[in-house]
Chain A
Amino acid sequence: MIRFDSVTKRYDGTGEAIRNLSFQVDHGEMVFLTGSSGAGKSTLLKLIALIERPTRGQVLMDGRNIGRLPAREIPKHRRQLGVVFQDNKLLAERSAFDNVALPLIIAGLSDREIARRVRAALDQVGLLKKERSKPGALSLGEQQRVGIARAVVTRPRVLIADEPTGNLDPWLSLEIMKLFGRFNDIGVTMLIATHDLNLLGKLGGRRIQLANGELSEPEDDALVF
Protein backbone atom coordinates (compact mmCIF):
# COMPACT_ATOMS: atom_id res chain seq x y z
CA MET A 1 0.00 0.00 0.00
CA ILE A 2 2.77 2.41 1.00
CA ARG A 3 6.21 1.89 -0.44
CA PHE A 4 9.38 3.89 0.04
CA ASP A 5 11.77 3.26 -2.80
CA SER A 6 15.34 4.50 -2.20
CA VAL A 7 14.00 7.73 -0.67
CA THR A 8 16.35 10.46 0.42
CA LYS A 9 15.25 13.72 2.01
CA ARG A 10 17.80 16.47 2.33
CA TYR A 11 17.14 19.72 4.23
CA ASP A 12 19.13 22.81 3.45
CA GLY A 13 21.69 23.34 6.17
CA THR A 14 21.00 20.21 8.21
CA GLY A 15 21.87 17.55 5.66
CA GLU A 16 20.01 14.32 4.97
CA ALA A 17 17.17 13.48 7.35
CA ILE A 18 16.40 10.28 5.44
CA ARG A 19 18.97 8.41 3.43
CA ASN A 20 18.21 5.92 0.67
CA LEU A 21 15.29 4.44 2.62
CA SER A 22 13.28 1.53 1.22
CA PHE A 23 10.44 -0.34 2.93
CA GLN A 24 6.84 -1.31 2.38
CA VAL A 25 3.69 -1.19 4.50
CA ASP A 26 0.84 -3.45 3.44
CA HIS A 27 -2.84 -2.71 3.64
CA GLY A 28 -4.20 -3.11 7.18
CA GLU A 29 -0.76 -3.29 8.76
CA MET A 30 0.19 -1.57 11.99
CA VAL A 31 3.74 -0.29 11.84
CA PHE A 32 5.69 1.47 14.59
CA LEU A 33 8.50 3.77 13.57
CA THR A 34 11.08 3.89 16.29
CA GLY A 35 14.42 5.52 16.72
CA SER A 36 16.07 8.26 18.69
CA SER A 37 15.32 11.92 18.23
CA GLY A 38 16.52 13.06 14.79
CA ALA A 39 16.44 9.52 13.39
CA GLY A 40 14.04 10.61 10.62
CA LYS A 41 10.67 9.33 11.96
CA SER A 42 8.85 12.63 11.61
CA THR A 43 10.35 13.32 8.20
CA LEU A 44 9.13 9.95 7.02
CA LEU A 45 5.56 10.75 8.11
CA LYS A 46 5.82 14.21 6.56
CA LEU A 47 6.75 12.61 3.26
CA ILE A 48 3.58 10.50 3.41
CA ALA A 49 1.41 13.54 4.29
CA LEU A 50 3.19 15.55 1.58
CA ILE A 51 4.28 18.15 4.06
CA GLU A 52 7.69 17.47 2.54
CA ARG A 53 8.73 16.07 -0.82
CA PRO A 54 11.54 13.57 -1.30
CA THR A 55 14.83 14.87 -2.65
CA ARG A 56 15.43 11.53 -4.37
CA GLY A 57 13.53 8.27 -4.76
CA GLN A 58 9.84 7.49 -4.82
CA VAL A 59 7.11 7.45 -2.19
CA LEU A 60 4.36 5.27 -3.60
CA MET A 61 0.82 4.93 -2.32
CA ASP A 62 -1.29 2.32 -4.06
CA GLY A 63 1.33 2.32 -6.80
CA ARG A 64 1.14 6.05 -7.38
CA ASN A 65 4.23 8.21 -6.84
CA ILE A 66 2.80 10.78 -4.44
CA GLY A 67 6.13 12.59 -4.24
CA ARG A 68 5.40 13.95 -7.71
CA LEU A 69 1.79 14.96 -7.13
CA PRO A 70 1.04 18.46 -8.39
CA ALA A 71 0.25 20.99 -5.65
CA ARG A 72 -3.44 21.16 -6.58
CA GLU A 73 -3.83 17.42 -5.83
CA ILE A 74 -2.25 17.54 -2.39
CA PRO A 75 -5.51 18.42 -0.54
CA LYS A 76 -7.24 15.40 -2.08
CA HIS A 77 -4.33 13.16 -1.05
CA ARG A 78 -4.40 14.48 2.51
CA ARG A 79 -8.14 13.83 2.76
CA GLN A 80 -7.36 10.13 2.41
CA LEU A 81 -5.17 10.23 5.51
CA GLY A 82 -5.84 10.56 9.18
CA VAL A 83 -3.11 12.44 11.00
CA VAL A 84 -2.46 12.56 14.76
CA PHE A 85 0.13 14.94 16.15
CA GLN A 86 2.07 14.94 19.38
CA ASP A 87 0.70 18.41 20.18
CA ASN A 88 -2.73 17.36 18.80
CA LYS A 89 -3.11 20.65 16.86
CA LEU A 90 -6.65 21.31 18.03
CA LEU A 91 -8.21 24.72 17.39
CA ALA A 92 -8.46 26.34 20.82
CA GLU A 93 -11.54 28.46 20.01
CA ARG A 94 -13.60 25.53 18.80
CA SER A 95 -15.36 22.84 20.79
CA ALA A 96 -14.37 19.19 20.64
CA PHE A 97 -17.34 18.61 18.34
CA ASP A 98 -16.30 21.41 15.97
CA ASN A 99 -12.68 20.24 15.92
CA VAL A 100 -13.68 16.72 15.00
CA ALA A 101 -16.18 18.04 12.43
CA LEU A 102 -13.50 19.97 10.49
CA PRO A 103 -12.37 17.21 8.11
CA LEU A 104 -16.01 16.35 7.39
CA ILE A 105 -16.86 19.98 6.60
CA ILE A 106 -13.85 20.06 4.28
CA ALA A 107 -15.09 16.84 2.67
CA GLY A 108 -18.49 18.45 2.09
CA LEU A 109 -20.77 16.15 4.07
CA SER A 110 -24.27 17.17 5.09
CA ASP A 111 -24.82 18.66 8.54
CA ARG A 112 -26.78 15.62 9.63
CA GLU A 113 -24.07 13.20 8.48
CA ILE A 114 -21.40 15.35 10.12
CA ALA A 115 -23.25 15.31 13.44
CA ARG A 116 -23.77 11.55 13.25
CA ARG A 117 -20.15 10.76 12.43
CA VAL A 118 -18.64 13.24 14.89
CA ARG A 119 -20.71 11.83 17.75
CA ALA A 120 -19.77 8.29 16.74
CA ALA A 121 -16.06 9.22 16.68
CA LEU A 122 -16.25 11.02 20.01
CA ASP A 123 -18.11 8.05 21.46
CA GLN A 124 -15.33 5.74 20.27
CA VAL A 125 -12.73 7.76 22.13
CA GLY A 126 -15.01 8.10 25.18
CA LEU A 127 -15.61 11.85 24.95
CA LEU A 128 -19.18 12.14 23.76
CA LYS A 129 -20.19 13.86 26.98
CA LYS A 130 -17.55 16.53 26.41
CA GLU A 131 -18.46 17.39 22.83
CA ARG A 132 -19.17 21.03 23.75
CA SER A 133 -15.93 21.48 25.72
CA LYS A 134 -13.15 23.53 24.26
CA PRO A 135 -9.63 22.04 24.26
CA GLY A 136 -8.56 24.28 27.13
CA ALA A 137 -11.16 22.62 29.35
CA LEU A 138 -9.91 19.13 28.52
CA SER A 139 -6.98 17.22 29.98
CA LEU A 140 -3.96 16.39 27.77
CA GLY A 141 -5.17 12.84 27.34
CA GLU A 142 -8.65 14.02 26.41
CA GLN A 143 -7.20 16.50 23.94
CA GLN A 144 -5.18 13.74 22.33
CA ARG A 145 -8.27 11.58 22.09
CA VAL A 146 -10.15 14.44 20.39
CA GLY A 147 -7.22 14.62 17.96
CA ILE A 148 -7.57 10.91 17.29
CA ALA A 149 -11.33 11.24 16.81
CA ARG A 150 -10.63 13.98 14.25
CA ALA A 151 -8.13 11.74 12.49
CA VAL A 152 -10.47 8.77 12.20
CA VAL A 153 -13.80 10.53 11.66
CA THR A 154 -13.38 10.49 7.86
CA ARG A 155 -12.69 6.71 8.01
CA PRO A 156 -9.26 7.11 6.44
CA ARG A 157 -7.48 4.20 4.81
CA VAL A 158 -4.21 5.25 6.39
CA LEU A 159 -3.64 6.80 9.78
CA ILE A 160 -0.27 8.33 10.62
CA ALA A 161 0.62 9.46 14.12
CA ASP A 162 3.72 11.37 15.18
CA GLU A 163 4.59 10.69 18.83
CA PRO A 164 0.90 10.57 19.80
CA THR A 165 1.73 9.64 23.40
CA GLY A 166 4.69 11.96 23.81
CA ASN A 167 2.92 14.20 26.33
CA LEU A 168 0.98 11.53 28.17
CA ASP A 169 1.56 9.43 31.26
CA PRO A 170 2.13 5.66 30.77
CA TRP A 171 -1.46 4.70 31.60
CA LEU A 172 -2.95 7.21 29.16
CA SER A 173 -0.35 6.25 26.55
CA LEU A 174 -1.45 2.64 26.75
CA GLU A 175 -5.09 3.69 26.42
CA ILE A 176 -4.29 5.69 23.31
CA MET A 177 -2.33 2.84 21.78
CA LYS A 178 -5.18 0.42 22.49
CA LEU A 179 -7.45 2.85 20.71
CA PHE A 180 -5.15 2.73 17.69
CA GLY A 181 -5.23 -1.05 17.92
CA ARG A 182 -9.03 -0.98 17.67
CA PHE A 183 -8.88 1.10 14.50
CA ASN A 184 -6.27 -1.21 13.06
CA ASP A 185 -8.61 -4.13 13.79
CA ILE A 186 -11.18 -2.66 11.42
CA GLY A 187 -8.64 -2.44 8.62
CA VAL A 188 -7.03 0.98 8.97
CA THR A 189 -3.36 0.94 7.96
CA MET A 190 -1.35 2.61 10.72
CA LEU A 191 2.08 4.18 10.89
CA ILE A 192 2.95 5.40 14.35
CA ALA A 193 6.19 7.15 15.20
CA THR A 194 7.12 6.64 18.82
CA HIS A 195 10.16 6.43 21.05
CA ASP A 196 8.19 4.71 23.79
CA LEU A 197 9.54 1.17 23.49
CA ASN A 198 7.75 -0.01 26.61
CA LEU A 199 4.40 0.41 24.91
CA LEU A 200 5.34 -1.70 21.93
CA GLY A 201 5.60 -4.85 23.93
CA LYS A 202 1.95 -4.57 24.87
CA LEU A 203 0.67 -4.17 21.31
CA GLY A 204 0.79 -6.08 18.07
CA GLY A 205 2.38 -4.73 14.92
CA ARG A 206 5.65 -4.41 13.04
CA ARG A 207 8.51 -2.20 14.03
CA ILE A 208 10.70 -0.20 11.68
CA GLN A 209 13.78 1.11 13.44
CA LEU A 210 15.49 4.20 12.09
CA ALA A 211 18.92 5.57 12.91
CA ASN A 212 20.41 8.62 11.20
CA GLY A 213 17.79 8.44 8.48
CA GLU A 214 18.46 4.83 7.60
CA LEU A 215 16.88 1.52 8.48
CA SER A 216 18.62 -0.20 11.32
CA GLU A 217 18.18 -3.46 13.18
CA PRO A 218 16.03 -3.22 16.32
CA GLU A 219 18.21 -3.55 19.41
CA ASP A 220 15.81 -6.02 20.91
CA ASP A 221 14.33 -8.49 18.44
CA ALA A 222 11.70 -9.42 20.96
CA LEU A 223 10.07 -6.08 20.22
CA VAL A 224 9.36 -7.05 16.63
CA PHE A 225 5.93 -8.62 16.39
Chain B
Amino acid sequence: MRYWLKLHVRNCQGALIDLAARPLATLLTAAVIGIALAMPASLNLLVKNGRNLAGGWDNARDFSVYLQVGTQLEVARKLASDIEKMNGVEQVSVTDADTAFAEFAAATGFGEVLNELDGNPLPHTLGVRPAADISVADLNTLAERLKLNAAVDIVQIDTAWVERLNAILDFLRRVVIVATAVLVIGVLIIVGNTIRLDIQSRRDEIEVLKLLGASDGFVRRPFLYVGLWYGIFGSLLAVVLLLLGGLILSGPVQTLIGLYSSDVALLGIDGSTLLLVAAGGLFAGWGGAWSAVARHLAAIQPH
Protein backbone atom coordinates (compact mmCIF):
# COMPACT_ATOMS: atom_id res chain seq x y z
CA MET B 1 0.00 0.00 0.00
CA ARG B 2 2.81 2.36 0.98
CA TYR B 3 4.71 1.48 -2.22
CA TRP B 4 1.57 1.99 -4.29
CA LEU B 5 0.93 5.38 -2.69
CA LYS B 6 4.55 6.41 -3.12
CA LEU B 7 4.44 5.41 -6.77
CA HIS B 8 1.33 7.52 -7.34
CA VAL B 9 2.87 10.54 -5.63
CA ARG B 10 6.05 10.07 -7.67
CA ASN B 11 4.09 9.76 -10.94
CA CYS B 12 1.92 12.74 -10.07
CA GLN B 13 4.95 14.92 -9.35
CA GLY B 14 6.81 13.55 -12.36
CA ALA B 15 3.91 14.39 -14.67
CA LEU B 16 3.79 17.93 -13.32
CA ILE B 17 7.52 18.36 -13.82
CA ASP B 18 7.21 17.01 -17.38
CA LEU B 19 4.47 19.53 -18.15
CA ALA B 20 6.41 22.38 -16.54
CA ALA B 21 9.33 21.54 -18.82
CA ARG B 22 7.18 22.46 -21.87
CA PRO B 23 5.09 25.37 -20.61
CA LEU B 24 3.82 26.67 -23.97
CA ALA B 25 2.49 23.32 -25.18
CA THR B 26 0.95 22.71 -21.76
CA LEU B 27 -0.69 26.13 -21.71
CA LEU B 28 -2.12 25.68 -25.22
CA THR B 29 -3.62 22.29 -24.40
CA ALA B 30 -4.99 23.59 -21.10
CA ALA B 31 -6.40 26.64 -22.91
CA VAL B 32 -8.26 24.43 -25.39
CA ILE B 33 -9.72 22.41 -22.52
CA GLY B 34 -10.53 25.57 -20.58
CA ILE B 35 -12.36 27.21 -23.48
CA ALA B 36 -14.18 23.99 -24.28
CA LEU B 37 -15.39 23.78 -20.66
CA ALA B 38 -16.16 27.48 -20.30
CA MET B 39 -18.36 27.63 -23.41
CA PRO B 40 -21.12 25.24 -22.32
CA ALA B 41 -20.84 26.50 -18.74
CA SER B 42 -21.41 30.10 -19.84
CA LEU B 43 -24.24 29.05 -22.16
CA ASN B 44 -25.81 27.22 -19.27
CA LEU B 45 -25.47 30.34 -17.14
CA LEU B 46 -27.13 32.34 -19.92
CA VAL B 47 -30.08 29.95 -20.02
CA LYS B 48 -30.41 29.95 -16.23
CA ASN B 49 -30.44 33.73 -16.18
CA GLY B 50 -32.95 33.78 -19.03
CA ARG B 51 -35.24 31.46 -17.11
CA ASN B 52 -34.79 33.51 -13.98
CA LEU B 53 -35.65 36.63 -15.91
CA ALA B 54 -38.73 35.10 -17.51
CA GLY B 55 -39.86 33.87 -14.12
CA GLY B 56 -39.15 37.30 -12.67
CA TRP B 57 -41.74 38.93 -14.84
CA ASP B 58 -44.46 37.45 -12.64
CA ASN B 59 -47.29 39.33 -14.24
CA ALA B 60 -46.31 38.37 -17.75
CA ARG B 61 -48.89 35.59 -17.86
CA ASP B 62 -51.61 37.53 -16.07
CA PHE B 63 -54.68 38.08 -18.19
CA SER B 64 -57.76 40.28 -17.96
CA VAL B 65 -61.37 39.22 -18.03
CA TYR B 66 -63.69 42.07 -19.03
CA LEU B 67 -67.28 41.50 -17.90
CA GLN B 68 -70.36 42.62 -19.72
CA VAL B 69 -71.14 46.30 -19.13
CA GLY B 70 -73.84 46.51 -16.53
CA THR B 71 -72.87 43.36 -14.66
CA GLN B 72 -73.48 43.80 -10.97
CA LEU B 73 -70.38 44.18 -8.79
CA GLU B 74 -71.61 41.39 -6.51
CA VAL B 75 -71.81 39.10 -9.55
CA ALA B 76 -68.28 40.10 -10.50
CA ARG B 77 -66.98 39.32 -7.00
CA LYS B 78 -68.82 35.98 -6.94
CA LEU B 79 -67.33 35.13 -10.36
CA ALA B 80 -63.85 36.10 -9.14
CA SER B 81 -64.25 33.81 -6.16
CA ASP B 82 -65.38 30.93 -8.40
CA ILE B 83 -62.50 31.42 -10.82
CA GLU B 84 -59.98 31.49 -7.96
CA LYS B 85 -61.10 28.00 -6.98
CA MET B 86 -60.40 26.65 -10.48
CA ASN B 87 -57.36 24.51 -11.23
CA GLY B 88 -54.40 26.46 -12.57
CA VAL B 89 -55.49 29.75 -11.03
CA GLU B 90 -53.39 31.34 -8.34
CA GLN B 91 -55.17 34.60 -7.68
CA VAL B 92 -58.02 36.75 -9.02
CA SER B 93 -58.44 40.45 -8.35
CA VAL B 94 -61.51 42.60 -9.08
CA THR B 95 -61.26 46.10 -10.46
CA ASP B 96 -64.68 47.64 -10.35
CA ALA B 97 -65.82 49.91 -13.17
CA ASP B 98 -65.76 53.11 -11.09
CA THR B 99 -62.19 52.55 -9.95
CA ALA B 100 -61.14 51.71 -13.50
CA PHE B 101 -62.82 54.85 -14.75
CA ALA B 102 -61.07 57.00 -12.13
CA GLU B 103 -57.70 55.43 -12.87
CA PHE B 104 -58.20 55.89 -16.59
CA ALA B 105 -59.18 59.52 -16.12
CA ALA B 106 -56.15 60.14 -13.94
CA ALA B 107 -53.77 58.29 -16.19
CA THR B 108 -54.89 59.93 -19.42
CA GLY B 109 -55.67 63.41 -18.10
CA PHE B 110 -59.00 63.36 -19.90
CA GLY B 111 -60.96 63.70 -16.66
CA GLU B 112 -63.09 66.62 -17.72
CA VAL B 113 -63.87 65.15 -21.12
CA LEU B 114 -64.84 61.85 -19.59
CA ASN B 115 -67.13 63.59 -17.16
CA GLU B 116 -69.16 64.73 -20.16
CA LEU B 117 -70.09 61.12 -20.90
CA ASP B 118 -73.56 59.92 -19.99
CA GLY B 119 -72.28 57.14 -17.83
CA ASN B 120 -69.28 54.89 -17.15
CA PRO B 121 -68.63 52.89 -20.31
CA LEU B 122 -66.10 50.66 -18.61
CA PRO B 123 -66.99 47.17 -17.32
CA HIS B 124 -65.86 45.51 -14.12
CA THR B 125 -62.61 43.71 -14.79
CA LEU B 126 -61.10 40.59 -13.27
CA GLY B 127 -57.31 40.25 -13.19
CA VAL B 128 -56.40 36.54 -13.29
CA ARG B 129 -52.94 35.31 -12.27
CA PRO B 130 -52.47 31.72 -13.41
CA ALA B 131 -50.35 29.25 -11.47
CA ALA B 132 -46.62 29.52 -12.29
CA ASP B 133 -46.38 25.98 -13.58
CA ILE B 134 -49.39 26.09 -15.88
CA SER B 135 -48.76 24.99 -19.45
CA VAL B 136 -49.69 27.05 -22.49
CA ALA B 137 -52.38 24.53 -23.45
CA ASP B 138 -53.95 24.64 -19.97
CA LEU B 139 -53.81 28.41 -19.99
CA ASN B 140 -55.70 28.53 -23.27
CA THR B 141 -58.26 25.98 -22.01
CA LEU B 142 -58.80 28.12 -18.92
CA ALA B 143 -59.37 31.20 -21.07
CA GLU B 144 -61.86 29.31 -23.27
CA ARG B 145 -63.81 28.12 -20.20
CA LEU B 146 -64.04 31.66 -18.88
CA LYS B 147 -65.33 32.92 -22.23
CA LEU B 148 -68.27 30.54 -21.90
CA ASN B 149 -69.57 32.41 -18.85
CA ALA B 150 -72.48 34.67 -19.79
CA ALA B 151 -71.14 37.54 -17.66
CA VAL B 152 -67.83 37.55 -19.52
CA ASP B 153 -67.44 39.80 -22.51
CA ILE B 154 -63.75 39.56 -23.44
CA VAL B 155 -60.81 37.49 -22.20
CA GLN B 156 -57.60 39.28 -23.11
CA ILE B 157 -54.57 37.05 -22.97
CA ASP B 158 -51.13 37.88 -24.38
CA THR B 159 -48.48 35.46 -23.28
CA ALA B 160 -47.11 34.76 -26.71
CA TRP B 161 -43.86 36.65 -26.21
CA VAL B 162 -43.14 34.90 -22.90
CA GLU B 163 -43.84 31.59 -24.58
CA ARG B 164 -41.47 32.53 -27.36
CA LEU B 165 -38.81 33.39 -24.80
CA ASN B 166 -39.37 30.09 -23.03
CA ALA B 167 -39.17 28.26 -26.35
CA ILE B 168 -35.88 30.00 -27.12
CA LEU B 169 -34.58 29.09 -23.67
CA ASP B 170 -35.66 25.47 -24.15
CA PHE B 171 -33.87 25.47 -27.45
CA LEU B 172 -30.78 26.98 -25.85
CA ARG B 173 -30.89 24.40 -23.09
CA ARG B 174 -30.71 21.70 -25.72
CA VAL B 175 -27.95 23.60 -27.48
CA VAL B 176 -26.06 23.57 -24.17
CA ILE B 177 -26.47 19.80 -23.88
CA VAL B 178 -25.40 19.16 -27.47
CA ALA B 179 -22.55 21.67 -27.27
CA THR B 180 -21.35 20.15 -24.00
CA ALA B 181 -21.37 16.66 -25.50
CA VAL B 182 -19.58 17.80 -28.66
CA LEU B 183 -16.99 19.83 -26.74
CA VAL B 184 -16.33 17.05 -24.21
CA ILE B 185 -15.77 14.62 -27.10
CA GLY B 186 -13.51 17.23 -28.69
CA VAL B 187 -11.52 17.62 -25.48
CA LEU B 188 -11.23 13.85 -25.10
CA ILE B 189 -9.83 13.67 -28.63
CA ILE B 190 -7.44 16.59 -28.06
CA VAL B 191 -6.11 15.20 -24.78
CA GLY B 192 -5.98 11.72 -26.28
CA ASN B 193 -4.01 12.99 -29.25
CA THR B 194 -1.63 14.98 -27.03
CA ILE B 195 -0.99 11.91 -24.90
CA ARG B 196 -0.57 9.80 -28.05
CA LEU B 197 2.17 12.14 -29.25
CA ASP B 198 3.70 12.01 -25.78
CA ILE B 199 3.66 8.20 -25.92
CA GLN B 200 5.25 8.20 -29.37
CA SER B 201 8.01 10.57 -28.26
CA ARG B 202 8.77 8.34 -25.28
CA ARG B 203 8.58 5.10 -27.22
CA ASP B 204 12.15 4.10 -26.45
CA GLU B 205 11.68 4.74 -22.76
CA ILE B 206 8.49 2.65 -22.71
CA GLU B 207 10.27 -0.22 -24.46
CA VAL B 208 13.10 -0.11 -21.92
CA LEU B 209 10.68 0.02 -18.99
CA LYS B 210 8.77 -2.99 -20.31
CA LEU B 211 12.01 -4.84 -20.87
CA LEU B 212 13.04 -4.16 -17.29
CA GLY B 213 9.81 -5.72 -16.06
CA ALA B 214 7.52 -2.73 -15.65
CA SER B 215 3.87 -3.71 -15.49
CA ASP B 216 1.29 -2.11 -17.79
CA GLY B 217 0.02 -0.07 -14.85
CA PHE B 218 3.50 1.23 -14.09
CA VAL B 219 4.00 2.36 -17.68
CA ARG B 220 0.48 3.75 -17.99
CA ARG B 221 0.34 5.79 -14.78
CA PRO B 222 2.58 8.76 -15.73
CA PHE B 223 0.52 9.39 -18.86
CA LEU B 224 -2.73 9.27 -16.92
CA TYR B 225 -1.36 11.83 -14.50
CA VAL B 226 -0.32 14.06 -17.40
CA GLY B 227 -3.94 13.86 -18.62
CA LEU B 228 -5.20 14.60 -15.13
CA TRP B 229 -3.00 17.68 -14.86
CA TYR B 230 -4.24 18.88 -18.25
CA GLY B 231 -7.77 18.50 -16.90
CA ILE B 232 -6.95 20.41 -13.70
CA PHE B 233 -5.26 23.27 -15.55
CA GLY B 234 -8.10 23.35 -18.11
CA SER B 235 -10.70 23.51 -15.31
CA LEU B 236 -8.85 26.32 -13.56
CA LEU B 237 -8.63 28.25 -16.80
CA ALA B 238 -12.34 27.68 -17.47
CA VAL B 239 -13.21 29.03 -14.01
CA VAL B 240 -11.03 32.10 -14.60
CA LEU B 241 -12.72 32.67 -17.99
CA LEU B 242 -16.19 32.32 -16.46
CA LEU B 243 -15.41 34.68 -13.59
CA LEU B 244 -13.85 37.21 -15.96
CA GLY B 245 -16.80 36.97 -18.33
CA GLY B 246 -19.22 37.44 -15.46
CA LEU B 247 -17.27 40.43 -14.19
CA ILE B 248 -17.21 42.12 -17.59
CA LEU B 249 -20.85 41.42 -18.54
CA SER B 250 -22.73 41.70 -15.24
CA GLY B 251 -22.83 45.53 -15.22
CA PRO B 252 -24.30 46.07 -18.70
CA VAL B 253 -26.70 43.14 -18.38
CA GLN B 254 -27.99 44.41 -15.01
CA THR B 255 -28.56 47.81 -16.61
CA LEU B 256 -30.46 46.19 -19.47
CA ILE B 257 -32.66 44.24 -17.04
CA GLY B 258 -33.31 47.47 -15.15
CA LEU B 259 -34.52 49.11 -18.36
CA TYR B 260 -37.20 46.41 -18.59
CA SER B 261 -38.40 47.44 -15.13
CA SER B 262 -37.38 44.19 -13.55
CA ASP B 263 -35.54 43.89 -10.28
CA VAL B 264 -34.37 40.36 -10.98
CA ALA B 265 -30.79 39.81 -9.80
CA LEU B 266 -28.32 38.35 -12.29
CA LEU B 267 -27.25 34.81 -11.42
CA GLY B 268 -23.51 34.35 -11.11
CA ILE B 269 -21.39 31.20 -11.22
CA ASP B 270 -22.49 29.02 -8.36
CA GLY B 271 -20.73 26.19 -6.58
CA SER B 272 -22.50 23.49 -8.56
CA THR B 273 -21.37 25.02 -11.87
CA LEU B 274 -17.79 25.22 -10.61
CA LEU B 275 -18.01 21.63 -9.43
CA LEU B 276 -19.36 20.53 -12.81
CA VAL B 277 -16.60 22.39 -14.65
CA ALA B 278 -13.96 20.82 -12.40
CA ALA B 279 -15.48 17.36 -12.78
CA GLY B 280 -15.73 17.85 -16.55
CA GLY B 281 -12.08 18.89 -16.73
CA LEU B 282 -10.88 15.94 -14.68
CA PHE B 283 -13.03 13.53 -16.65
CA ALA B 284 -11.85 14.94 -19.98
CA GLY B 285 -8.17 14.90 -18.92
CA TRP B 286 -8.12 11.48 -17.34
CA GLY B 287 -10.54 9.96 -19.87
CA GLY B 288 -8.66 11.33 -22.87
CA ALA B 289 -5.38 10.03 -21.48
CA TRP B 290 -6.92 6.65 -20.71
CA SER B 291 -8.31 6.28 -24.24
CA ALA B 292 -4.85 7.06 -25.65
CA VAL B 293 -2.85 4.74 -23.41
CA ALA B 294 -5.37 1.93 -23.86
CA ARG B 295 -4.93 2.13 -27.62
CA HIS B 296 -1.24 2.91 -27.98
CA LEU B 297 0.72 1.50 -25.04
CA ALA B 298 -0.14 -2.13 -25.75
CA ALA B 299 1.24 -1.69 -29.26
CA ILE B 300 4.68 -0.76 -27.92
CA GLN B 301 6.66 -3.86 -27.06
CA PRO B 302 10.39 -4.45 -26.76
CA HIS B 303 11.94 -5.85 -29.89
Chain A residues packing against B (C-beta within 8 Å): 49, 51, 75-81, 83, 89, 91, 102-103, 105-108, 150
Given the known inter-chain contacts A108-B3, A108-B7, please indicate yes or no for A91 contacting B208, CB distance below 8 A.
yes
**Of all chain B residues, which has the CB nearest A49?**
B211
Cβ contact of A75, chosen from B7, B10, B215, cutoff 8 A? B215
| Contact assessment for B211 and A89 in the assembled complex, using a CB-CB cutoff below 8 Å | yes
| Contact assessment for A91 and B204 in the assembled complex, using a CB-CB cutoff below 8 Å | yes
Q: How far is the CB of A161 from chain B (nearest CB, A)?
A: 13
| Contact assessment for A106 and B204 in the assembled complex, using a CB-CB cutoff below 8 Å | no
What's the Cα separation between A78 and B207 when bound, in Å?
13
Cβ contact of A51, chosen from B208, B209, B211, cutoff 8 A? B211
User: Contacts of B205 on A, CB cut-off 8 Å?
Assistant: 91
User: Contacts of A83 on B, CB cut-off 8 Å?
Assistant: 211-212
What's the Cα separation between A82 and B210 when bound, in Å?
13
25 A–B contacts from the bound complex (CB under 8 Å): A49-B211, A49-B302, A51-B211, A51-B301, A75-B216, A75-B218, A76-B213, A78-B210, A78-B211, A78-B212, A79-B212, A83-B212, A89-B204, A89-B207, A89-B208, A89-B211, A91-B204, A91-B205, A91-B208, A105-B10, A106-B209, A106-B212, A106-B213, A106-B214, A106-B215
**Of all chain B residues, which has the CB nearest A151?**
B212
Give the contacts of B166-213 with A (CB-CB under 8 A).
204-205, 207-213
Given the known inter-chain contacts A89-B204, A108-B3, A108-B7, please indicate yes or no for A102 contacting B209, CB distance below 8 A.
yes
User: Contacts of B10 on A, CB cut-off 8 Å?
Assistant: 105
What's the Cα separation between A150 and B207 when bound, in Å?
15
Q: How far is the CB of B49 from chain A (nearest CB, A)?
A: 51
User: Contacts of A51 on B, CB cut-off 8 Å?
Assistant: 211, 301-303
**Chain B window 267-282, contacts with chain A (Cβ cutoff 8 Å), 1 for yes, 0 for no:** 0000000000000000
| Contact assessment for B3 and A78 in the assembled complex, using a CB-CB cutoff below 8 Å | no
Q: How far is the CB of A138 from chain B (nearest CB, A)?
A: 17
Chain B residues packing against A (C-beta within 8 Å): 3, 7, 10, 204-205, 207-216, 218, 301-303
Cβ contact of B210, chosen from A75, A76, A107, cutoff 8 A? A75
Most chain-B CB neighbours within 10 Å: which of A76, A106, A108? Answer: A106
**Of all chain A residues, which has the CB nearest B214?**
A106
**Of all chain B residues, which has the CB nearest A50?**
B302
**Of all chain A residues, which has the CB nearest B7?**
A108
User: Contacts of B303 on A, CB cut-off 8 Å?
Assistant: 51
| Contact assessment for B301 and A103 in the assembled complex, using a CB-CB cutoff below 8 Å | no
**Of all chain A residues, which has the CB nearest B212?**
A103
User: Contacts of A107 on B, CB cut-off 8 Å?
Assistant: 213
What's the Cα separation between A49 and B210 when bound, in Å?
11
User: Contacts of A102 on B, CB cut-off 8 Å?
Assistant: 208-209, 212
User: Contacts of A150 on B, CB cut-off 8 Å?
Assistant: 212
What's the Cα separation between A150 and B213 when bound, in Å?
12
What's the Cα separation between A49 and B209 when bound, in Å?
13
| Contact assessment for B218 and A106 in the assembled complex, using a CB-CB cutoff below 8 Å | yes
Q: How far is the CB of B135 from chain A (nearest CB, A)?
A: 59
Q: Which 3 A-B pairs have the closest CB atoms?
A: A79-B213, A78-B213, A108-B3
Given the known inter-chain contacts A51-B301, A108-B3, please indicate yes or no for A103 contacting B213, CB distance below 8 A.
yes
**Of all chain B residues, which has the CB nearest A71?**
B216
User: Contacts of B211 on A, CB cut-off 8 Å?
Assistant: 49, 51, 78, 83, 89
What's the Cα separation between A150 and B211 when bound, in Å?
12
User: Contacts of B213 on A, CB cut-off 8 Å?
Assistant: 75-81, 103, 106-107
Q: How far is the CB of B8 from chain A (nearest CB, A)?
A: 12
User: Contacts of A76 on B, CB cut-off 8 Å?
Assistant: 213
Q: How far is the CB of A4 from chain B (nearest CB, A)?
A: 20
Q: How far is the CB of A177 from chain B (nearest CB, A)?
A: 22
What's the Cα separation between A108 and B4 when bound, in Å?
8
**Of all chain A residues, which has the CB nearest B303?**
A51
Q: How far is the CB of A118 from chain B (nearest CB, A)?
A: 14
User: Contacts of A79 on B, CB cut-off 8 Å?
Assistant: 212-213
User: Contacts of A49 on B, CB cut-off 8 Å?
Assistant: 211, 302
User: Contacts of B302 on A, CB cut-off 8 Å?
Assistant: 49, 51
Q: How far is the CB of B83 from chain A (nearest CB, A)?
A: 75
User: Contacts of A89 on B, CB cut-off 8 Å?
Assistant: 204, 207-208, 211
**Of all chain A residues, which has the CB nearest B3?**
A108
What's the Cα separation between A91 and B208 when bound, in Å?
8
**Of all chain A residues, which has the CB nearest B215?**
A75
User: Contacts of B210 on A, CB cut-off 8 Å?
Assistant: 75, 78
Q: How far is the CB of B3 from chain A (nearest CB, A)?
A: 4
New contact pairs (19) apart from A51-B211, A91-B208, CB-CB < 8 Å? A49-B302, A75-B210, A75-B213, A75-B216, A75-B218, A76-B213, A78-B210, A78-B213, A79-B212, A80-B213, A81-B213, A89-B208, A102-B208, A102-B209, A102-B212, A103-B212, A106-B209, A106-B213, A150-B212
